[in-house]
């Protein structure tokens, strides 16, 4: 299997202490990237290569930490190249679950309480770095883990443990990665309701890192009661916005009223044993987003966002809402990992091996999602910033049925459309932009298209 150029670059800093392992990672990464949705044996194409892959994951020198560190360094490089001092850097973080209940022979997994039924597997909590126009630059932090005991998520003494002894501390831990970036860029940490933790907000303020959280609890306000409908009734809407939302596979345009107010959050009541840091009241801005004339109660948008960013008027509130909407990108990336690479079909027989496999496939999935987004954010760039000459020429030959190649490389917009067409994208006038599914299907076919290109050009010049 020929190594892929971007994978060579991405993992050039990896060091397992054995050059053969370093090289095997690049070969294996190229195999898996070229055959998304394929099992390891099929992706490697022959038994010798597949056996090398299994030996790679068996080797104790191979760890997800070393693998991820190489990608993280390249992510920092991309941030530095893409952004200028003071530019916005969006950093959504979220958790996803991997279910391996159907493979009971896999050792080292844990029961994932908090989700329906007796489900066994592991979890991955990640942060991705994105530009303001939502171009994902890489995974900036990642933790793959299992729960320590079957009942660790819902222990009876949960309220007696301090935050740094709880699983939810992962939200606070990933703030530490942002400290080194906040002096150069306008860093914004974006989280969903699970991160509505008072200690998270206080730590972010102590670190001077901006955050936007969707509220989970009606928190107490100094001299103003609680957040919620009673508080909204005292406010006037500052304006309306329209956003496109998708529900049950159908898209619609929702009209939203926007309210905001600067408030001081009261410290929550904690038992003495559960206090690990001195809690102090926190000044934040609460933004209420209420849908007008929703089709039904279940689909109605009703967000309460908490942020420590300054909100002076409707336009700045609208910008905060736009930042929060960008959090959906991490969900799309999770879908690429699970559906694009079928990681829950992997049969590696131990959690530690799965951990390395999931780290690798999460990086490969980032690249596919990067292609989806760069076509929309930078369509006029030359395609050789993401494709090799051989790749775009193979695509050109396949789509255009011609050996009269352009003198200069086509744009990203054109080349990625060709790739999506390999995956079934029709490219009709009303089809819009290609998505992840057509791209990972196209990447799956690209290897064979390149082989055809080599044979034809060698035969006909």
Identify the band that residue 212 occupies on the pLDDT scale cut at 50, 70 and 90. very high
Secondary structure class of 209 (helix, strand, coil)? coil
At 359, which helix (H) or strand (E)?
Answer: helix 351-377
Q: Provide the phi-psi class of 92: left if phi over 0, else alpha when psi is between -120 and 50, else beta.
A: beta
| Residue 359 belongs to some domain of the structure | no
Task: Tell me the helices (H) and strands (E) count for the chain, helix number first.
Answer: 14, 12
At 164 the pLDDT is 83
Q: What is the CATH number of the domain that holds 24?
A: 1.10.246.40
At 116 the pLDDT is 54
Q: What is the 3-state secondary structure (H, E, C) of 252-285?
A: EEEEEEEEEEEEEECCCCCCHHHCCCCCCCEEEE
CA-based angle 282:327:302, to the nearest 5? Answer: 70
| Residue 441 belongs to some domain of the structure | yes
Nearest CA to 320 among 178, 214, 236, 175?
214
At 30, which helix (H) or strand (E)?
Answer: helix 19-34
Residues 156 and 291 in one domain: yes
Identify the band that residue 299 occupies on the pLDDT scale cut at 50, 70 and 90. confident
Q: What is the CATH number of the domain that holds 288?
A: 3.90.350.10
Residues 420 and 330 in one domain: no
Secondary structure class of 211 (helix, strand, coil)? strand
Residues 416 and 311 in one domain: no
Secondary structure class of 216 (helix, strand, coil)? coil
The distance from CA 79 to its chain's CA centroid, rounded to whole angstroms, is 16
Q: What is the rounded distance in angstroms from the CA atom of residue 295 to the CA atom of residue 302?
A: 13
Identify the band that residue 153 occupies on the pLDDT scale cut at 50, 70 and 90. very low
Identify the band that residue 2 occupies on the pLDDT scale cut at 50, 70 and 90. low
Nearest CA to 125 among 90, 97, 163, 162?
97
At 1 the pLDDT is 55
Residues 323 and 437 in one domain: no
| Residue 121 belongs to some domain of the structure | yes
| Residue 347 belongs to some domain of the structure | no
| Residue 368 belongs to some domain of the structure | no
- The residue among 33, 62, 91 that closes a domain is 62
Secondary structure class of 159 (helix, strand, coil)? helix
Q: What is the rounded distance in angstroms from the CA atom of residue 5 to the CA atom of residue 9?
A: 7
At 33, which helix (H) or strand (E)?
Answer: helix 19-34
Least confident interval from 138-142, 143-147, 378-382, 430-434: 430-434
132-138 mean pLDDT: 97
Tens-digit pLDDT profile for residues 401-453: 999 999 999 999 999 999 999 999 999 988 889 998 999 999 999 989 999 99
Q: What is the rounded distance in angstroms from the CA atom of residue 275 to the CA atom of residue 298?
A: 37
Identify the band that residue 272 occupies on the pLDDT scale cut at 50, 70 and 90. confident
When the pLDDT of each residue in the chain is averaged and rounded to a whole number, the result is: 91
Residues 303 and 421 in one domain: no
Q: Which residues contact 143 (CB under 8 A, 6 or more apart)?
A: 124, 125, 126, 170, 173, 174
Residues 54 and 91 in one domain: no
- Could you tell me what percent of the chain has a pLDDT over 90? 76
CB atoms within 10 A of CB 334: 20
Residues 143 and 19 in one domain: no
Tens-digit pLDDT profile for residues 7-48: 999 999 999 999 999 999 999 999 999 999 899 999 998 899
| Residue 300 belongs to some domain of the structure | yes
- The residue among 31, 62, 93 that closes a domain is 62
* Number of domains present in the structure of the chain: 3
130-152 mean pLDDT: 87
Tens-digit pLDDT profile for residues 47-105: 999 999 999 999 999 999 999 999 999 999 999 999 999 999 999 999 999 999 999 99
* Token pair belonging to 240: 């309306």
Residues 316 and 388 in one domain: no
Tens-digit pLDDT profile for residues 310-331: 999 999 999 999 999 999 999 9
Residues 303 and 383 in one domain: no
Token look-up 């951990």 returns: 355
> For residue 12, what are the domain limits?
1-62
DSSP tag of 4:
P
Tell me if 151 sits within 8 A of 166, measured CB to CB: no
* pTM for this prediction: 0.93
Residues 29 and 92 in one domain: no
- Asked whether residue 151 carries a pLDDT value surpassing 90, the answer given is no
Q: Which residues contact 231 (CB under 8 A, 6 or more apart)?
A: 221, 224, 225, 261, 286
| Residue 360 belongs to some domain of the structure | no
260-289 mean pLDDT: 88
Residues 220 and 327 in one domain: yes
- The residue among 62, 88, 113 that closes a domain is 62
Q: What is the CATH number of the domain that holds 384?
A: 1.10.740.10
At 300 the pLDDT is 86
Tell me if 185 sits within 8 A of 87, measured CB to CB: yes
Secondary structure class of 395 (helix, strand, coil)? helix
- Asked whether residue 193 carries a pLDDT value surpassing 90, the answer given is yes
Q: Which residues contact 102 (CB under 8 A, 6 or more apart)?
A: none
Residues 328 and 400 in one domain: no
Strands 88-99 and 186-191: parallel
* Strand segments (E) across 167-209: 186-191
At 152 the pLDDT is 47
105-124 mean pLDDT: 83
Tell me if 175 sits within 8 A of 208, measured CB to CB: no
| Residue 352 belongs to some domain of the structure | no
At 148 the pLDDT is 75
């Amino acid at each position: 299997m020929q190594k892929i150029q971007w994978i060579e670059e991405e993992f050039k800093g990896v060091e397992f202490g054995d050059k053969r392992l370093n090289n095997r990672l690049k070969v294996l990464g190229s195999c898996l990237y070229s055959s998304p949705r394929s099992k390891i044996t099929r992706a490697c194409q022959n038994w010798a290569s597949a056996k090398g892959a299994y030996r790679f994951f068996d080797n104790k020198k191979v760890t997800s930490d070393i693998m991820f560190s190489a990608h993280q360094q390249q992510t920092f490089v991309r941030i530095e190249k893409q952004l200028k001092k003071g530019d916005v850097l969006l950093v959504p973080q979220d958790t996803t679950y991997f279910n391996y209940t159907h493979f009971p022979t896999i050792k080292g997994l844990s029961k994932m309480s908090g989700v329906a039924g007796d489900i066994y597997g592991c979890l991955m909590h990640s942060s991705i770095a994105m530009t303001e126009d939502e171009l994902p630059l890489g995974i900036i932090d990642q933790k793959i883990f299992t729960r320590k005991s079957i009942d660790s998520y819902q222990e009876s003494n949960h309220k007696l443990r301090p935050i740094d002894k709880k699983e939810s501390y992962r939200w606070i831990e990933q703030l530490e990665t942002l400290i080194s970036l906040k002096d150069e860029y306008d860093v914004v940490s974006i989280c969903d309701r699970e991160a509505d933790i008072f200690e998270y907000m206080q730590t972010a303020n102590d670190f001077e890192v901006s955050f936007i959280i969707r509220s989970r609890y009606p928190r107490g306000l100094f001299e103003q009661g609680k957040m919620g409908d009673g508080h909204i009734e005292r406010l006037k809407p500052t304006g309306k916005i329209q956003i496109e939302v998708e529900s049950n596979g159908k898209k619609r345009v929702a009209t939203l009223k926007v309210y905001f107010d600067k408030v001081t959050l009261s410290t929550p009541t904690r038992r003495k044993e559960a206090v690990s840091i001195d809690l102090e009241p926190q000044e934040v801005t609460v933004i209420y987003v209420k849908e007008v004339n929703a089709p039904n109660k279940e689909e109605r948008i009703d967000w309460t966002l908490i942020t420590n960013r300054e909100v002076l008027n409707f336009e700045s509130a609208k910008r905060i809402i736009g930042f929060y909407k960008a959090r959906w990108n991490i969900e799309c990336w999770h879908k690429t990992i699970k559906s694009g690479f079928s990681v829950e079909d992997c049969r590696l027989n131990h959690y530690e091996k799965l951990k390395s496999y999931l780290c690798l496939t999460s990086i490969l999935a980032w690249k596919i999602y990067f292609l989806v987004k760069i076509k929309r954010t930078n369509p006029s760039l030359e395609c050789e910033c993401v494709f090799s000459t051989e790749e775009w020429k193979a695509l050109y030959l396949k789509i255009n049925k011609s050996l009269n190649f352009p003198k200069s490389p086509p744009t990203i917009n054109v080349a990625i459309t060709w790739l999506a067409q390999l995956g079934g994208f029709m490219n009709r006038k009303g089809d819009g932009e290609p998505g992840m599914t057509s791209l990972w299907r196209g990447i799956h076919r690209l290897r064979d298209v390149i082989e055809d290109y080599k044979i034809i050009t060698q035969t006909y010049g």
